[in-house]
Structure 1
Amino acid sequence: MKIMLITGGSRGIGAATATLAAASGYAVAVNYNKNKEAAGAVVAAISARGGKAIAVQADIAIEADVLRLFETTDKQLGRLDCLVNNAGILEKQIRVEEITADRLNRIFAANITGQFICAREAIKRMSTKHGGNGGTIINVSSIAARLGSPDEYVDYAASKGAIDTFTIGLSKEVAAEGIRVNAVRPGLIYTDIHADGGEPGRVDRVKAALPMKRGGQPSEIAEAILWLASEKSSYATGSFIDLGGGR
């Protein structure tokens, strides 16, 4: 049984990916930061269907938490095959002229530093250079990396732009060590993250401007993530799948 670790796995895209991964035969480590109940519900649903999953609390912005997350996964599930770098945050909609260094540090710590440290730990376990069997890393970026999110989340968009560059560089660094690194760039998806930004109904407000005239579902992103995790995408690395409804 292959093992997948999903950061931010208690809700939205992470939870949908965990559910689909378990149905596809993976044992899943569902990471969460604060929402223990939601993570427990994801694990319970997987277990009820005969799958294997654990919930592990860790704030990926804290290096010691990341180390504990990976060590717990090692002990309870085994050697990692796939990391889904999904956890990320945004804060209230704001213009750059109002932004603070504290806000930038919070967002960059979670959305950039955390993904780097998680990837580092995954490589130590997967790389043939370290005695591993190879594996896959899928970074969850955003269409915002291309669009910039003016008047709303330029800091979030910039953090996702960093993840795009990270994906390209890391993919080349570890390609010969049996690790494929790719990314998905979701657009307007029905998840709770919009409420975190102060506008729970943002998808419905903006969807008419999309070529497809609708928001996306977390399950649609999960399908792309699982394809990138699988051998069906065996010749893809350093690649991006845009999932923005045509935007």
Structure 2
Amino acid sequence: MARPRTPASLQQVTVVTGGSRGIGAATALRLARDGHHLGIGYSTDEEAAERAAAAVRSAGGEAVTVRLDTSEAAGVDRLFDTVREALGPVTGLVNNAGVSGPLGRFTETSPEVMRRVVDVNVTGALLCARRALRELSTAYGGPGGAIVNVSSSAATLGSPGEYVHYAASKAAVDAMTVGLAKEFTGEGVRVNCVQPGSVLTGMHAKMGDPDRAWKKAGITPARRPGEPEEIADAVAWLLSDEASYVSGAVLRVAGGL
């Protein structure tokens, strides 16, 4: 049996959640350079989302931005409906949206922060994957495609004293990846995951420690933080035909950590 290939006539249309900044924006730009059109989902920063869309267009792709809360099914449906209407049938998803809350001991983390992290990182990822699979799966009349979930090395390190709740949510993303791959690869949808380590994004400042990425460099074998573009390269490969036999993988991109 020949390995599956993306038909040359099929325009790649990829939804990237959390696509306005950091890893999401870098991924959108990388995919545009690979010929994708992009649906950029974002939560609050419209200006950043429009900058990301402008970068996509400068790279030769088309882009549409949609503001949503991924933990709400209606917002997820609106995102996919908007992308389909503006750009054509969706062929891929980068499930990147995520939050952490402030750094701190587990016992000092509020229940409200814990709930929000689970709502976005777990429920939001599940809702986005569910809608994408209904678009992509051949069992639903879709063309097939690929999903890449964005997890974290925290999923296996536990992140004691920083954000155990976040680590737990990302471990759920890893489990979701494996389960969905087993369920849907036979229906033409590859599901994989990347586990970034400490990466130079604005997320550290939001957590309360802008220098955290460099502080983590001391325990990282590479002796430096990652760049968003390095994570984007891994995501792009997993979405590409070069990874046609890869499904259910959790790819660590963490400088040896």
Q: Same fold (TM over 0.5)?
A: yes
Q: 1:19 matched to which residue of 2?
A: 29
SS across alignment from 1:5: strand
**Alignment partners' CA distance in 2, 1:48 and 1:136:** 25
Q: 1:191 matched to which residue of 2?
A: 201
The one-letter code matched in structure 2 to 1:15 is: A
The one-letter code matched in structure 2 to 1:41 is: R
Matched, 1:238 2:242: no
1:166-213 per-residue CA deviation (whole Å, 9 max, x = no partner) reads 001111011110000000000010011111110011011120221110
Unmatched runs of 5 consecutive residues or more in structure 2:
1-10
Matched, 1:118 2:106: no
Q: 2:230 matched to which residue of 1?
A: 220
The one-letter code matched in structure 1 to 2:199 is: I
How far is the alpha carbon of 1:99 from its aligned partner?
2.4
**TM-score for both structures, normalised by structure 1:** 0.98
How far is the alpha carbon of 1:101 from its aligned partner?
2.0
Q: 1:96 matched to which residue of 2?
A: 106
Matches within 5 A, 1:1-247: 1-247=11-257
**Alignment partners' CA distance in 2, 1:98 and 1:44:** 41
Unmatched runs of 5 consecutive residues or more in structure 1:
none
The one-letter code matched in structure 1 to 2:240 is: S
Counting matched residue pairs gives: 247
Runs of 4+ in structure 1 deviating by more than 3 angstroms, as ranges, are: none
The one-letter code matched in structure 2 to 1:180 is: R
Is the contact made by 2:151 and 2:194 (CA closer than 8 Å) also made in structure 1?
Answer: yes
**TM-score for both structures, normalised by structure 2:** 0.94
The one-letter code matched in structure 2 to 1:225 is: V
The one-letter code matched in structure 1 to 2:192 is: N
Q: 2:8 matched to which residue of 1?
A: none
**Alignment partners' CA distance in 2, 1:40 and 1:104:** 30
**Alignment partners' CA distance in 2, 1:90 and 1:117:** 19
**Alignment partners' CA distance in 2, 1:89 and 1:193:** 8
SS across alignment from 1:145: helix
1:137-172 per-residue CA deviation (whole Å, 9 max, x = no partner) reads 000000000100000010000000000110011110
Q: Let me know the Cα RMSD of the aligned residues.
A: 0.8
The one-letter code matched in structure 2 to 1:8 is: G
The sequence identity of aligned pairs, in percent, is 45
